[in-house]
Amino acid sequence: GAVVSQHPSRVICKSGTSVKIECRSLDFQATTMFWYRQFPKQSLMLMATSNEGSKATYEQGVEKDKFLINHASLTLSTLTVTSAHPEDSSFYICSARLPYSYEQYFGPGTRLTVT
Amino acid sequence: GQQLNQSPQSMFIQEGEDVSMNCTSSSIFNTWLWYKQDPGEGPVLLIALYKAGELTSNGRLTAQFGITRKDSFLNISASIPSDVGIYFCAGQSRGSQGNLIFGKGTKLSVKP
């Protein structure tokens, strides 16, 4: 149980375009999902907390207009990187929190490369 | 802000050896979680701890929630090559609004 999928696993886009990443909890409902960014050989950096039916909570320094988050259902959250630039290239990982728990289950990640 | 110190940063061991890594925090945590991340993948939850003093095993892995609630350790017994990866501790405290704080990871290398 507690499986989280993420799509796509890898995406290459041109500078200035927008990219959408989907995160789905496959076998449980998640009112709260999280989006992380991970730089090479570093730990996970929380970008934002996505709450179903309400606005996402962004961490300090994360531009909400650049990283649009939508959590329209209890099993799906999306992250859209708008007007992507090469510095946005990174490994983006989502997680979903199990109901009534602090356990987070992670998706397999999305490798974004902006050329 | 809250910080987690995870050590060691990296370990190089021989197959069959036991491994120990730990995390300490500057504040009290209510939950400790241990994850393993393989290259290019998302972290996988190994063990979750909820009570001070709790000792929990998952196969060859054993983790403990420190009595002071400011530390946790993870032991791996009789390591095998597939144990290679980066291990992260993560903690949740009362002031974190349910968010997890992650350690910087311990990179484990196992020599066959």
The pLDDT mean for chain A works out to: 94
Does B43 score more than 80 pLDDT?
yes
Give the pLDDT confidence score for residue B65 in this predicted structure.
97
Burial B75-104 (b: 16+ CB within 10 A, else e): bbeebeeebbbbbbbbbbbeebeebbbbbb
Q: Does B42 contact chain A (CB < 8 Å)? A: yes
Neighbours of A96 (CB within 10 A): 30
Q: What angle do CA B55, B38, B57 make, to 5 degrees?
A: 15
Question: What is the spatial distance between Cα B97 and Cα B102, in angstroms, rounded to a whole number?
Answer: 14
Tell me the average pLDDT of chain B.
94
Considering only CA atoms, give the Rg of chain A: 13
Q: Which of A42, A46, A105 sits opposite B99 (nearest CB)?
A: A46
Check A43 against B45: CB less than 8 A apart: no
A34–B103 CB contact, under 8 Å: no
Check residue A101 and give its pLDDT. 87
Q: From the centroid of its chain, how far is CA A3?
A: 15
* B31, B47 contact by CB (below 8 A): no
**Confidence band for B1, pLDDT divided at 50, 70 and 90:** low
Q: Do B43 and A106 touch (CB under 8 A)?
A: yes
Q: What is the pLDDT of residue B66?
A: 96
User: Do B33 and B45 touch, CB atoms closer than 8 A?
Assistant: yes
Q: What is the percent of chain A where pLDDT is above 70?
A: 99
- Examine the pLDDT at B2 and tell me if it is beyond 80: no
What's the pLDDT at B94? 75
SS3 B33: strand
- Closest partner residue to A43 (CB to CB) among B40, B88, B99 is B88
> How far, in Å, CA of A48 to CA of B11, rounded?
32
Mean pLDDT in residue range A8-31: 96
Tell me the average pLDDT across A40-47.
92
Which pLDDT value is given to residue A97? 93
pLDDT in tens, B67-97: 999 999 999 999 999 999 999 999 998 767 7
